[in-house]
Structure 1
Amino acid sequence: MCGIAGAVWWEPSKRIDRDVLQRMTDAIQHRGPDAEGHWQAEPNDSHECGVALGHRRLSIIDVAGSAQPLGNHDGSIQIVFNGEIYNYRELRQDLIAAGHLFRTEGDTEVIVHLYERHGLNFVDHLRGMFALAIWDSREQQLVVARDRLGQKPFFYRMDDGRFSFASELKALLQIPGIPRQLNRRSVLSYLMLQYVPAPHSILEGFQRLPPASLGVVKNGEFTIKRFWTPPYDQPQSSKNTINDWREELRHEMTEAVRLRLRSDVPLGAFLSGGIDSTVITGLMQQQLDQPVQTFSIGFPVAAYDERHYARQASEMLGTDHHEAVVNPDALSILPQLIWHYDEPFSDSSAIPTIYLSRMTREHVTVALTGDAGDELFCGYDRYRAVRMAHKMDLTPRAIRKLAASAAAYLPTSVRQKSFLRRLKRLLETMGQNEEERYLNWISIFSRSRLQQLVSPELHSLTANHDPAACLFDAYKMFPNRDLVTRTTAVDVETYLPNDLLTKVDIASMHVGLECRSPMLDHKVVELAARMPLAVKQSVRQGKLVLTETFRDLIPPDIQTRKKMGFGVPIDHWMRNELKPLLYDVLLSKKCEERGLLNPAAVRQLVEEHTSSKFDHAYRLWNLLCLELWHRTYLDDVPPLTAPTSL
């Protein structure tokens, strides 16, 4: 894991000098605390473009070697690379057999030789997570790529005369004269989804390279193509029982874990006590000759504490378990969270992920995780709600509209995830089409609430821009699968890379911890995508095939436990320690003068929540992160290091 930054330019006025490149890599020093490297080439008679490549290194493989930027034998190809290629040993053997000579023992040089041999098709051979840039001086082109699922970030900006890129937006903002102008359409998407979806960014002119994308900068133009898509359009319906999939799933998962155990530094695992992390830890323990170091955190509030399940898993699997009770200080972590995430990002589970990463980094440098199990194997309760609502859609539309009207008469629960509140939300959406209904369920601000919340000027942008367009575009990708499977595919395309993987990458890399996710191995994803719904989900339960296949690794209580989100009690915070901040920040003149929000609507949210009339915790957290982001990134020049106070 590392941080990368750089640029290629063909206009002399757009040159990136050594001092600027240094500032770019300094801004992401936390991603690579072990070493740094820079490489530059100025335009000359044979080279039309100037190039600057920078790298910050977290040493995992070939610790003593593989310094970046790294070149081929004659220096005509240079690479900066963030991530891990887990099958690098097998690829290296093939390349040596084909006559390639190696100077290092790491995975970075393997990519260079793959590019020499296969050209732009080199990405097809990579099994891992990556964001990279390759400068090819012979072809005078910069090749950039991002891994299939979007585990590693890649921001870029295409200007007249220059293409610049970095692992994090803050590095690009170190370029002198680069504009910091708010993308108001992205604000609408953020308010609805709690993240800014790729390829967009919160700032005008900046973009994210989408997952599974390969881009080429050549002759002043930038072209992108998608090199992989999960095969949800290739179902294997003939294999319709769990037994049909058990052996293959066990093999692919075991292999994915085996490859991710390759490390020259200490490694461990996040162990929450859920099915996914327990399975990954169990497969690790089966392949290692010493106890796996596992890590979990808990909170004083019982509703947010899973430690007893993590202990059960640890005892059954025989791990060396570490746990800690965390009493999060929201006021101290907020400024750091805002700075590290670069853009408004309001998934509050980033907070416990940050604390877990800090504790884990005290013991190991690499941690395996169970990320993506819910999306791949139908783990979320909302997928069962999709199934239930789909069956209810068979009733006449008039009856469904009547049910939606009747929902208004149900009492409103103050608790965000109560049964009554979920029932009310289900009935309210019965008159909507299936895709719009799902959007309503996952939105922070639904369409109707968004209209009430934002200023008329901001809302007018929705006439030509749907804030949730990414969701509906994803639904169109696999029209022939059942609704639940299509919905899980939508989450793999949107929620997984834009929210969950962003959350884990930033939270872990802020302390130089590398997180590896075996379920994100593209072989595992391809297998899960081809599975019929029947082996994943019943009316009452999800993750059927996963649980049955690995029943020997999962304690009985965990097999049947109700899913618990990885969260913090922000509803309580906002009625107590964060209450003054809500009033000082969200109801401030500075916030009002931005012209984005309706002050009366914001005040109503604050007062309803603080008086316990309604639970608006996630909405208020969303707005708080947006305003604090403005103050950190737009009102002033963002600092080079994370601030310690608001």
Structure 2
Amino acid sequence: MCGITGSVWLRDHHRVDDALISRMTHVISHRGPNDAQVWADRSHRDASGNPMGVALGFRRLSIIDVAGSRQPMANEDGRVRMVFNGEIYNYRELRQRLQGSGHRFATEGDGESILHLYEDLGTDCFAHLNGMFAIAIWDAKQNRLVLGRDRIGQKPLYYSFKNERLVFGSELKSLAAVPGVCEQIDPAAVDQFLTYQYIPHPGTIWKGVHKLPPGHFAVLDSQGFRVQRYWDYDPSREIAISHGDAVERMRELLSDSVRMRMRSDVPLGSFLSGGIDSSLITALAGDHTETPLRTFSIGFPIADFDETAYAAQVAKHLGTDHTRFEVTPDAIEILDKLVWHYDEPFGDSSAVPTWYLSELTRQSVTVALSGDGGDELFAGYDRYRALWLSQKIQRLFPVHRAPGMGLIQRLPDSNRRNSVVRRGKRFLEAIGQPTVRRYMNWLQIFPESLRASLYRDDFFAELPDEDPVAFLESAWERSSGRDLVTRASTADVLSYLPCDLMTKVDIASMAHGLEVRQPMLDYRVVEFAASLPVRYKFRGRRGKLLLRDAFGDRIPASIFTRPKMGFGIPIANWFRDEFRDLLGDTMLAPDAKIHRFFRPEAIAALVAAHQSGEQNHGYRLWSLLILETWMRQTQGV
């Protein structure tokens, strides 16, 4: 697990000198505290004899082959070089195959398998990798740079191709170190951020700077720069499989995925929230350890946001060496750190507990397993049940036209995360809309009408005609013809999972030099889950049925039936208490940076409605505060 960066330039006056590639590498030193290397070839010429050059930078967090596997790594004749962030879990199997075809290995690490696989297969190599990765390969034989990102988007990779120079990196801050790259805020990205609480790929907050989408590779050569998909599973296809065979296949796939992710030369543990997913991963990981597995959970002093009692129950059942951390979240204290590390506006407030959990876990281990992905793959979210229920109700009678709906919508909101009033209001707001728009209503932070009331006229005029919801609609259409729950979960796998959850976990964990591995997101598990009939995953308003049927004997039965809590913080309370003064000093201040986009009186109205208890705008205010803090950190904006 590491950080990578680099550049290729096609004209000598755009070259990256030693000082610049060192800055690009140093600024992501938190991703790799164990080693730093740079390499450059500034004497290279293209096929026409024109001067060109390449520079690669690498920061290492040593996990496998700790004493070796330094990067940038070269093949036998030195004409192919690579930097790589992530883990290749099937590297031992690939190594045997490659040695059999004559390749000589100089290290014991997982990265060298990529290098030799590329020599044999070129860009087809990515389809043979089982892992999480962001890869850059300089091929002097063909005068080209190849970038590749894993199928699910667990590892980030940003790039910009301007003025015949490509720059790339694991984090945006590497690109921002290059003059002329991160210059103009993209208005469309601001609109997307307020919609989703993240900025969807391939865009970023900066014009001309992009995220390489999951399951894609990019090539820069004499033909120009192009991006191409290499993984394209078909979620519209449902397989015919018996329930018994599905259970058996589920056991095989997830058990093997955990086994492969237990390979490590440094201390390894597991996050344990006490939910179904982390409990199952922890149980399966225990099959591959001779000593009790280290497990970690984090608790908060507010009961609505603390599920560590369930984690303790599972830990006792499984016999793990369990550590419970308790913290009082101080978002004011870590706000600037969070915003700096995430590089662009990122509004998921669960980044706060993820940050604390990563920081504290890293004191004991270097690698942690996580249950991420189970809700998306096996229909675990409450919103899937809401979608299913709304469809059934809507077929019987148009509830959204019933008398008294207006009165219900005017009921004051509750601070409690799972209050009946709060959930009921969101449900009723969406029930009369077209299906994908109905689902979007449960996802979006600022609905379209509220965004429009917030925007200044001049900013509104800068926005493109494309609706931000088009990103979700495109993901939704990938499972055309399937049932609503499958379509919603597929859309989440292709949008929310890589853009929100994977971003949150990668940045929070790598800020502390912790590697997080997610066995549920093995691409074989993802493809299998997508192909299953919905009745094996979801039935009668209950989700994750296949996980219960396949692994119900591994963890306490009560874990499968307890209410889902999620991983949150008391954000609504904060904006009525400890954040009250902060709001006045930042986004309510006369010199607030976000006034460039938003009407001050509209922001003030949101704050007033929230603090009076009339509405719960906690998540919206958090997004605005994140954006304001980011703009204050970004010099010259």
TM over 0.5: yes
In the alignment, does 2:102 pair up with 1:99?
yes
Deviation of residue 541 (structure 1)?
1.1
Deviation of residue 178 (structure 1)?
3.1
Q: Is the contact between residue 407 and residue 424 of structure 1 (CA under 8 Å) also seen in structure 2?
A: no
Matches of 2:468 and 2:45, distance apart in 1: 47
* Matching residue within 139, 144, 148 for 2:142: 139
Deviation of residue 460 (structure 1)?
3.6
* Matching residue within 214, 236, 242 for 1:233: 236
In the alignment, does 2:273 pair up with 1:245?
no
Q: Is the contact between residue 414 and residue 421 of structure 2 (CA under 8 Å) also seen in structure 1?
A: no
Map 1:515-554; keep pairs closer than 5 Å.
515-554=516-555
SS, match of residue 589 in structure 1: coil
- Partner residue, 1:640: none
In the alignment, does 2:10 pair up with 1:7?
no
> Per-residue displacement from partner, 1:413-434 (whole Å, max 9, x unpaired)?
3335422222222222222101
Number of aligned pairs? Answer: 632
Map 1:102-501; keep pairs closer than 5 Å.
102-219=105-222, 221-236=224-239, 238-239=240-241, 241=243, 243-395=244-396, 399-403=398-402, 406-410=405-409, 411-415=411-415, 417-461=418-462, 464-501=465-502
SS, match of residue 634 in structure 2: helix
- Partner residue, 2:21: 21
Q: Is the contact between residue 5 and residue 174 of structure 2 (CA under 8 Å) also seen in structure 1?
A: yes
> Per-residue displacement from partner, 1:444-494 (whole Å, max 9, x unpaired)?
101111111222233345561212221011112121111110110000010
Q: Taking structure 1 as reference, are residues 17 and 338 closer, same or farther at Cα in structure 2, changes over 3 Å only?
A: same
Q: Taking structure 1 as reference, are residues 44 and 81 closer, same or farther at Cα in structure 2, changes over 3 Å only?
A: closer
**Root-mean-square deviation over aligned CA pairs:** 1.5
Letter in 2 for 1:141: R
Moved more, 81-90 or 168-177: 168-177
- Partner residue, 1:73: 76
Deviation of residue 331 (structure 1)?
1.3
Matches of 1:370 and 1:382, distance apart in 2: 19
Q: Is the contact between residue 272 and residue 306 of structure 1 (CA under 8 Å) also seen in structure 2?
A: yes
TM-score scaled by length of structure 1: 0.95
Deviation of residue 635 (structure 1)?
3.8
Deviation of residue 150 (structure 1)?
0.1
Q: Which residues of structure 1 form unaligned runs of 5+? A: 637-646
- Partner residue, 2:617: 616
Matches of 1:556 and 1:506, distance apart in 2: 34
Matches of 2:195 and 2:407, distance apart in 1: 22
SS, match of residue 22 in structure 1: helix
Matches of 1:493 and 1:520, distance apart in 2: 12
Q: Is the contact between residue 594 and residue 627 of structure 2 (CA under 8 Å) also seen in structure 1?
A: no
Q: Which residues of structure 2 form unaligned runs of 5+? A: none
Matches of 2:404 and 2:361, distance apart in 1: 49
Deviation of residue 244 (structure 1)?
3.2
> Per-residue displacement from partner, 1:473-517 (whole Å, max 9, x unpaired)?
111212111111011000001000000000000000001000000
Matches of 2:605 and 2:372, distance apart in 1: 37
- Partner residue, 1:641: none
Matches of 1:635 and 1:572, distance apart in 2: 33
Q: Is the contact between residue 230 and residue 529 of structure 1 (CA under 8 Å) also seen in structure 2?
A: no
SS, match of residue 185 in structure 2: coil
Matches of 1:431 and 1:294, distance apart in 2: 44
Map 1:604-643; keep pairs closer than 5 Å.
604-635=605-636
Matches of 1:435 and 1:456, distance apart in 2: 29
Q: Taking structure 1 as reference, are residues 358 and 390 closer, same or farther at Cα in structure 2, changes over 3 Å only?
A: same
TM-score scaled by length of structure 2: 0.97
Q: Is the contact between residue 403 and residue 430 of structure 1 (CA under 8 Å) also seen in structure 2?
A: no
Matches of 2:439 and 2:307, distance apart in 1: 28
In the alignment, does 2:90 pair up with 1:87?
yes
> Per-residue displacement from partner, 1:85-107 (whole Å, max 9, x unpaired)?
00000100000011111111111
SS, match of residue 586 in structure 2: helix
Q: Taking structure 1 as reference, are residues 463 and 174 closer, same or farther at Cα in structure 2, changes over 3 Å only?
A: closer
Deviation of residue 630 (structure 1)?
0.4
Deviation of residue 169 (structure 1)?
0.3
Identity of aligned residues (%): 48
Deviation of residue 11 (structure 1)?
1.2
Q: Is the contact between residue 240 and residue 534 of structure 1 (CA under 8 Å) also seen in structure 2?
A: no
Q: Is the contact between residue 147 and residue 219 of structure 2 (CA under 8 Å) also seen in structure 1?
A: yes
Q: Taking structure 1 as reference, are residues 299 and 44 closer, same or farther at Cα in structure 2, changes over 3 Å only?
A: closer
Q: Is the contact between residue 408 and residue 425 of structure 2 (CA under 8 Å) also seen in structure 1?
A: no
